[in-house]
Structure 1
């Protein structure tokens, strides 16, 4: 059947795109962790487990070892700060684009903030230059080191700086954490293998390649192109929110990629504006077979748009997000969030439906829950950002 070019994309069209492009519908699951990251542009990594769980949800063979291979053996995936100052895992070939489009500006602000904190201790820019150079040299000499190991080897990392001046969190602490963060933003060092299991939030530092030599406008256009391919149609507000850019940067990037406006029909909340898609992406997408999915907290799909009404009903949203706006584990049916899930202490993966979805959906969701039970095996996963429904389920 020939695809039809459309100028209005309603909820059904958007959900069909989400199902296939985010590797959630039957037959779309990926063979590799790289394919998952490429499809979603970036995997959230603030919670160490999310990277693995987001991949497992979309892999034909859900094995954590596949993610470790890509991250630490083949180095085809890179963990770095990016959009909205959030920690992500991105394809290696996209790392320079993310760094140039987003992280490089953050580096300047973060380094300036560190210098202000250091000044309260009588430490100046020359001090920071020396500590940065010594830290980079030590990481290069070792090849891999934890923050604690570097703190012992580089005296300047133990110098005290004032954190949170003027706030209730004000305290003197070693400079090591903030220096390493600044060096990470600059690409001088990168996050390496985790210390402990794949659930650990601790990691080692390894030599980086330095900041990206890409024009900011070019990098922002490329990131927008990839994001629209995965998340379009989307509004200007969605792009601004997802990237953390100024609205002027989002507009320039949309223009640079030749993005085309489409009406979003019943998928647009009042005042959010039109949707945007790439110029070669106007053909209607055939709806997939019915599908269910259990996605982890902070999954890229649930966190992909600022405007969520077309896949997440307002009535159930408060039970699925924490107070800071972090989404917890979600249950999906045919492109809509219909509930939450959690792993209990005995390994059971339990769900709670917040909408009436019918017997066929309940059966499909049960199959996915059992798939997760087998994939997690002896591992027990508690989301870093806990939500009302996840707590309710896990406590049984």
Structure 2
């Protein structure tokens, strides 16, 4: 994979990030599909993140909501589904087969086995009963086109069945068959989330039958996902790759070898880029951005010191490691932002090194750009961070 002689320093890594993650003004995109393809995936755990991530990178930010809704729900050129690390993402539709084979199959097998085990432990019906309910659910969903779990339960009442989870444990709870089964079917690539019940910020989704896709060879799919991700995020260390994909280290190494990845070096040690991606990245004009909680850039690497100072993390991350809304200047996180109840977007610099008058003016312009396209919409991150809570209070 090479001799590791090519060194890619922090300045060049930030320039790569600016262009490949479509954050520099001249690198912005014309459609959500274009942007999602460049980033490989948009985080979808918090529905608002998808739109805010697109809006930060779209040439015509005023078109953020209608264009993203078109892609997700009319053209179905983007699909919200489970992917790496059992996390919900939004992918280009042509990537769903790759994601399903490279990451979904292994996760799905464990998820179904766990559901059957939990139901058996609670004395609930067996796997054969569950299979009947599943087939009935999918048939109902095909008839409806899109439906909520409640609507599906009108056609298949057994979806309302409940069972006790982790009886006697401190985290004991009552689970409904519909919730657990739909999640398993989502990981298996059989169903996807459809239109929300409310606005673009709503987390209450309808469900739809997943678009058909070919069944790919696992190793080939892993190689393709690796190639796409390295093209967007390289250089990346083996630890970055293992964390982002959720794969075993043997899978990571096999995929790197399959694509002929080139070994380079970064400050953290050995790292990898695609075979034809060793040419130096030219300088990029300074840029500002307001990125949402869980943005794919802020969450893109396990080792983040090259763009996020360690001392900023206690304010910008929650206890589970989820990043909140961030303010960026020229390739690094310099602060955070939040939207207040009255719609005002409040922001604060946490690292003023190199953030002069030009930077503050550029950040203020991004604040106005965000406020303009959001209009009367209100966003509250699903995983609030200490700074987010403080700024939102005013």
**TM-score, normalized by the shorter chain, greater than 0.5:** yes
Alignment of structure 1 residues 206-355 onto 2, 5 Å: 206-209=208-211, 212-264=214-266, 267-268=267-268, 273-355=269-351
SS in 1 for 2:239: helix
CA 1:28–1:122 in 2, change beyond 3 Å: closer, same or farther? closer
Q: CA deviation at 1:167?
A: 2.5
SS in 1 for 2:25: coil
With 153-162 and 323-332 compared, the bigger mean Cα shift is at 153-162
With 303-312 and 160-169 compared, the bigger mean Cα shift is at 160-169
Deviations 1:46-83 (A, max 9, x none): 10100110001000112211100000000000000000
* Aligned pairs, number: 386
Listed as ranges, the gaps of 5+ residues in structure 2 are: none
Q: Give distance in 1, aligned partners of 2:196 and 2:124.
A: 35
Give me the TM-score of the superposition, normalised by structure 1. 0.95
Give me the TM-score of the superposition, normalised by structure 2. 0.95
Root mean square deviation of aligned Cα: 1.4
Alignment match, 1:377: 375
Listed as ranges, the gaps of 5+ residues in structure 1 are: 1-5
Alignment match, 2:364: 366
Q: Give distance in 2, aligned partners of 1:245 and 1:33.
A: 27
2:196 to 194, 197, 201: 194
Alignment match, 2:89: 88
CA 1:352–1:186 in 2, change beyond 3 Å: closer, same or farther? same
Alignment match, 2:6: 7
SS in 1 for 2:110: helix
Alignment match, 2:71: 70
Q: Give distance in 1, aligned partners of 2:393 and 2:306.
A: 30
Deviations 1:249-272 (A, max 9, x none): 1111111111111111xx32xxxx
Alignment match, 1:171: 173
Q: CA deviation at 1:210?
A: 6.0
Q: Give distance in 2, aligned partners of 1:187 and 1:330.
A: 32
CA contact (8 A) 1:100 1:212 kept: no
Alignment match, 1:153: 155
Q: Give distance in 2, aligned partners of 1:210 and 1:184.
A: 13
Q: Give distance in 2, aligned partners of 1:342 and 1:31.
A: 26
Q: CA deviation at 1:105?
A: 1.1
